């Protein structure tokens, strides 16, 4: 059966590279979530937009579902292929296609890793400012599919802000060139923004033209130890008013303990409940003086228990490692990940309720908090208790998420700040989007993917439940 389907694909797309080895099916059939058993039909590695188009057109005729696949570093199951889908990997479409000095844009194929984009921009003394820890393995197409955020959103915004133009193949098999990389273009609906964050459910990003910016001025990094969550909000307000913040990331003592257990060096002699890594412009003496003044303002009011100001790039990198090492240090515990956001102004009230819920809902569980306070974005990782099976653990976490979603709903938040909905957050989409909105999204999906072959079952079901 499968071999006939594959033969038909190869006939429809001559020269297409395919993999069907069990090891490949497993490797390419999942992302960084580990909850589903990979079971794709095959992995296709197109080399051009035209091949992608041919694959989609074939899939429509044959009724085969397609799972677009970048670096598969996603945390919501958006790239999982567990039901005989064809995985369409962009791995062999990873070229930098062009740079324009006047427009300050870089055009790349969708499979290009984020870090390769950073490097290509740097070669031209410019910067692509979207950044996060999986930069070496994630693909630019995947960052577009989830409107990836990361550690510099406070200064530079999300991926959405940096996409000048997109080439996409829709679920109907059409190749669309969206926005032509124009700065000003008021000529109908901006379909580019519709594709950004659509998690492969409307089509496949094959090429992107990215805006670049001047590299940031020299920066410095400080690590602060704080006594409470309330202090965190106050310190954020003080630093934001004194400094040009590039990043403001927090984590808890438990997060730090895991990173230290993973080999990092303890920054302070004592343990504190909360920590902040703040990066800020320090281009001249005035800015350095402002940093000291801000730090003193925090210390005087007792908001900060201890602090380090980096004195070298190496030390700055070491401080960053304490924050960036968290996800990796938790991986072995198969954490249940919450990635929620509220307006920054709603954070204190939301947190009070969420902390109470999680303490009550997870007695004895280890809950690790970290995230991007300046963007209203919290990551709440619940670690699997020793000896608890995955099914029981996920069921238990899902119950708590039901209540967390209610709290988010009440505070006007989102069940997914930057990871996407995928499979993991799908049961709670309605906490963030109204029934009317979901009906509109369903209608739009039908327009762009009339045969329902694009990443089916992800984000929301194409047809409402009967």
Selected range binding a second copy among 125-133, 191-199, 220-228, 307-315, rule: CB under 8 A: 191-199
* Cβ at position 295, least distance to a second copy in Å: 21
Report the residue number, 403 or 446, with the smaller CB distance to a second copy: 446
Burial of 115 (0-12, 13-18, 19+ CB in 10 A): middle
Q: Is there binding between residue 310 and a second copy (CB under 8 A)?
A: no
Report the residue number, 249 or 310, with the smaller CB distance to a second copy: 249
Question: For the chain, how big is the Rg over CA atoms in Å?
Answer: 23
Q: Which residue has the tokens 């003044």?
A: 293
Binder of a second copy out of 109, 416, 455, 462 (CB under 8 A): 416
- Rounded distance, CA 282 to CA 268, Å? 24
Q: Which residue has the tokens 């997870």?
A: 362
Question: Around 233, how many Cα atoms within 13 Å sit in the side-chain half-sphere?
Answer: 15
Binder of a second copy out of 9, 276, 277, 417 (CB under 8 A): 417
Largest CA distance in the chain: 73
- Rounded distance, CA 180 to CA 85, Å? 32
Selected range binding a second copy among 85-93, 190-198, 248-256, 289-297, rule: CB under 8 A: 190-198
Report the residue number, 256 or 441, with the smaller CB distance to a second copy: 441
Can you spell out the DSSP letters for 308-328? Answer: EE--SHHHHHHHHHHHHTHHH
* Cβ at position 286, least distance to a second copy in Å: 9
- Rounded distance, CA 123 to CA 436, Å? 47
Q: Is there binding between residue 288 and a second copy (CB under 8 A)?
A: no
The number of angstroms, rounded, from the C-alpha of 196 to the middle of its chain's C-alpha atoms is: 12
- Rounded distance, CA 367 to CA 385, Å? 10
Report the residue number, 211 or 272, with the smaller CB distance to a second copy: 211
Q: Is there binding between residue 153 and a second copy (CB under 8 A)?
A: yes
Binder of a second copy out of 30, 72, 323, 425 (CB under 8 A): 425
* Cβ at position 197, least distance to a second copy in Å: 5
* Cβ at position 142, least distance to a second copy in Å: 12
* Cβ at position 188, least distance to a second copy in Å: 5
* Cβ at position 28, least distance to a second copy in Å: 23
Q: Is there binding between residue 349 and a second copy (CB under 8 A)?
A: no
Binder of a second copy out of 367, 415, 424, 454 (CB under 8 A): 415
For 308, the 3-state DSSP assignment is: strand
Binder of a second copy out of 271, 388, 440, 464 (CB under 8 A): 440
* Cβ at position 191, least distance to a second copy in Å: 6
In sequence order, the 6+-apart residues with CB closer than 8 A to the CB of 400 are 357, 358, 361, 362, 382
Report the residue number, 134 or 432, with the smaller CB distance to a second copy: 432
Binder of a second copy out of 181, 219, 287, 455 (CB under 8 A): 181
Selected range binding a second copy among 196-204, 218-226, 248-256, 327-335, rule: CB under 8 A: 196-204
The two three-digit tokens of residue 65, written as one number: 């579902």
Binder of a second copy out of 5, 17, 194, 299 (CB under 8 A): 194
- Rounded distance, CA 417 to CA 148, Å? 9
Measuring CA to CA, which residue among 296, 298, 291, 290 is closest to residue 274? 298
Can you spell out the DSSP letters for 219-253? Answer: EEEEEEEES-HHHHHHHHHHHHHHS-EEEEEEEEH
Evaluate whether 202 touches 448 at the Cβ level (below 8 Å): yes
Report the residue number, 147 or 384, with the smaller CB distance to a second copy: 147
Selected range binding a second copy among 15-23, 25-33, 220-228, 442-450, rule: CB under 8 A: 442-450
Stretch 121-150 residues interacting with a second copy (CB under 8 A): 146-147, 149
DSSP character for 459? S
* Cβ at position 97, least distance to a second copy in Å: 15
Binder of a second copy out of 107, 158, 310, 401 (CB under 8 A): 158
The contact mask relative to a second copy for 365-404 (x = CB under 8 A, - = no) is -------x--xxx---------------------------
Measuring CA to CA, which residue among 86, 27, 78, 102 is closest to residue 51? 86
DSSP character for 131? B
CA 340-203-435 angle, to 5 degrees, is: 45
Stretch 85-104 residues interacting with a second copy (CB under 8 A): 100-103
DSSP character for 454? B
């Amino acid at each position: 059966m499968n071999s006939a389907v594959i033969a038909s694909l190869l006939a429809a797309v001559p020269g297409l590279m395919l993999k069907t080895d069990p090891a490949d099916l497993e490797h390419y059939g999942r992302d960084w979530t580990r909850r589903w058993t990979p079971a794709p039909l095959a992995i296709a590695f197109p080399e051009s937009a035209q091949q992608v188009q041919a694959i989609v057109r074939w899939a429509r005729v044959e009724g085969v579902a397609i799972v677009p696949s970048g670096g598969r570093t996603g945390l919501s199951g958006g790239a999982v292929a567990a039901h005989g889908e064809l995985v369409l990997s962009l791995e062999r479409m990873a070229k930098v296609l062009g740079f324009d000095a006047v427009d300050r844009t870089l055009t790349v194929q969708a499979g290009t890793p984020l870090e390769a984009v950073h490097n290509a921009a740097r070669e031209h003394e410019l910067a692509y400012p979207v950044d996060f820890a999986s930069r070496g393995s994630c693909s630019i197409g995947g960052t577009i599919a989830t409107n990836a955020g990361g550690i510099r959103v406070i200064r530079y915004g999300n991926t959405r802000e940096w996409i000048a133009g997109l080439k996409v193949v829709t679920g109907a098999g059409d190749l669309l060139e969206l926005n032509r990389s124009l700065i000003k273009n008021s000529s109908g609906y901006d379909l580019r923004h519709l594709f950004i964050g659509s998690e492969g459910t409307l089509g496949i990003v094959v090429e992107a033209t990215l805006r670049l910016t001047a590299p940031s001025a020299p920066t410095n990094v400080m690590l602060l130890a704080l006594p409470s969550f309330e202090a965190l909000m106050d310190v954020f307000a003080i630093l934001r008013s004194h400094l040009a913040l590039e990043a403001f990331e927090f984590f808890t003592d438990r997060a730090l303990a895991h990173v230290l257990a993973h080999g990092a060096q303890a920054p302070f002699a004592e343990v504190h409940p909360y920590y902040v890594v703040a990066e800020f412009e320090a281009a001249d003496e005035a800015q350095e003086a402002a940093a000291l003044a801000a730090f003193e303002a925090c210390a005087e009011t007792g908001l900060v228990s201890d602090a380090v100001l980096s004195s070298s790039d190496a030390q700055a990198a070491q401080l960053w490692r304490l924050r960036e090492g968290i996800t990796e240090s938790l991986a072995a515990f198969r954490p249940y990940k919450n990635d929620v956001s509220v307006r920054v102004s709603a954070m204190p009230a939301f947190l009070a309720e969420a902390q109470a819920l999680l303490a009550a809902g997870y007695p004895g569980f280890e809950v690790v908090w970290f995230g991007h306070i300046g963007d209203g974005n919290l990551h709440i990782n619940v670690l699997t208790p020793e000896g608890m099976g995955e099914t029981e653990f996920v069921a238990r976490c899902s119950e708590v998420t039901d209540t967390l979603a209610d709290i988010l709903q009440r505070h006007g938040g989102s069940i997914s700040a930057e990871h996407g909905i995928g499979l993991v957050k799908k049961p709670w989409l309605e906490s963030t989007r109204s029934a009317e909105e979901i009906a509109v999204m369903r209608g739009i999906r039908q327009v762009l993917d009339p045969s329902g072959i694009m990443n089916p079952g992800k984000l929301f079901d194409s047809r409402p439940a009967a």
